[in-house]
Amino acid sequence: MEIMNSKSAPVVSQNAPNPLQIFELATGFMRAKHLFVAGELGIFEKLAEGPATFDELAAKLGTPRRTTRIVADAVTALGLLERQGDKYRNSALAQAHLSGSGGAVDMRPFLRFWNRLSYKRWLGLEDSVRQGKGVAGEFNFTPEE
């Protein structure tokens, strides 16, 4: 029998397989959405200029302190930012591929595509399967896209 502990992580009985993989799959959209939001806000570009406290980062982004901190901490947990003391900076991976100044493959256009176009389509997958229709629909691109 499986129950949830106080941290909302699955607790497994001795006879059942560990559901951790299911838990990680089911919550993967949260990690992706934090990555997309950090990209849309320009967090990686701003931190390419140098380390910043979350107050400094919020001021550069023009976003509220509380929500800036939530996103910065989430992206830190993903390994895309690093925190030393009260300052955040890009990890090597984010600096190379998400800052626009890393000289490597720029993943920012992919993030925009996945967030603005693909993610929304996938939200309708259940209805598409039930109705026997595709999820693609009509794309309405902005000039930037």
Question: What residue ranges define each of the domains in the chain, with the CATH number in brackets?
Answer: 28-131 (1.10.10.10)
pTM, full prediction: 0.79
pLDDT number for residue 122: 87
pLDDT tens-digit series, residues 45-95: 999 999 999 999 999 999 999 999 999 999 999 999 999 999 999 999 999
Alpha-carbon span 94 to 48, nearest angstrom: 9
pLDDT number for residue 1: 40
Alpha-carbon span 107 to 28, nearest angstrom: 19
pLDDT tens-digit series, residues 7-46: 666 666 678 899 999 999 999 999 999 999 999 999 999 9
Closest CA to 40 of 119, 121, 104: 119
